[in-house]
Amino acid sequence: MRAAARIEAVADGAGGTRLAVLSGEVPLLPRRTGPRPGPGEPATVHLVGGAAGPLGGDDLTVDIVVGPGAALCVRSVAASIALPDRAGSPSHTVVRATVASGGRLEWLPEPLIAAARCHHETLTRISLAAGASLRWRDELVCGRHGEEPGDASVTTVVRYAGRPLLHHQVAVGPSYPGWAGAAVLSGARATGTLVVVDPAWADGGGPRAAVRGDRAARAPLAGPAVLVTSVAPQPATVRADLTALDPRATRDVALATAHHPIG
């Protein structure tokens, strides 16, 4: 299956954001949710899965454009489960995001679950103009309950003001030797990353490096940004770690943190 979704957010001229384009195909169905945003608040869109997947052989594409002065938050209604097909074909998801100066994008979906025998790749390319803001979260779970994962790789590439800011990849499964070893997940079943970009940190005033136990860390990047990473036995713990070290944390993970306090 080939499917594409496109979301374009633009400033409405009154301090808010309107969605100029909101289109998709099964299984990528974007839907505007929540009340109309007030000045400075992001427009919220949920990706609704119109079918199971990604399934082996699927090629899925999501394009996101945030204009000057606009703010957009993209979520999903449930976790995505990468599944195999009978032929063992790979599946691919490509996400492309562009944020103009003064624009703000938050990508906060539920985790990707790598089911047994899947062969899935996710590639994200984000282009930020100078003065753009970003919160981008990716979470990966190694198999469903009681099963070993298939192959899954998640790659995130971010450019800021035309320059490389981040190129990060995590890969799990039998095709990636050592993925469960001490150098990668060290036996953990879930992992996640959070990239936060804030132009206010351009002069080096961003948050400092931090650690959370022996499983999570925050590291400044060579630009107005930080990268938070976590590995843990459970996805809820990963979510709590990312929130605890997020310098721009919101209440979007209240459920996870209620079960895993971050005090």
Asked if the structure places residue 38 within a domain, the reply is yes
Asked if the structure places residue 192 within a domain, the reply is no
pLDDT in tens, 143-187: 998 899 999 999 999 999 999 999 999 999 999 999 999 888 988
Asked if the structure places residue 78 within a domain, the reply is yes
What is the band of 200 on the pLDDT scale with cuts at 50, 70, 90? Answer: very high
Asked if the structure places residue 44 within a domain, the reply is yes
What is the band of 258 on the pLDDT scale with cuts at 50, 70, 90? Answer: very low
Range of the domain at 162: 2-187
Asked if the structure places residue 166 within a domain, the reply is yes
pTM for this model (two decimals): 0.92
Asked if the structure places residue 65 within a domain, the reply is yes
Residues 8 and 50: their CA atoms lie apart, in Å, by: 21
pLDDT in tens, 97-146: 999 999 999 999 999 999 999 999 999 999 999 999 999 999 999 999 88
Report, as an integer, the average pLDDT of 200-216.
90
Asked if the structure places residue 248 within a domain, the reply is no
Residues 65 and 104: their CA atoms lie apart, in Å, by: 10
The number of domains in the chain is 1
CA 75 to chain centroid: 9
Asked if the structure places residue 87 within a domain, the reply is yes
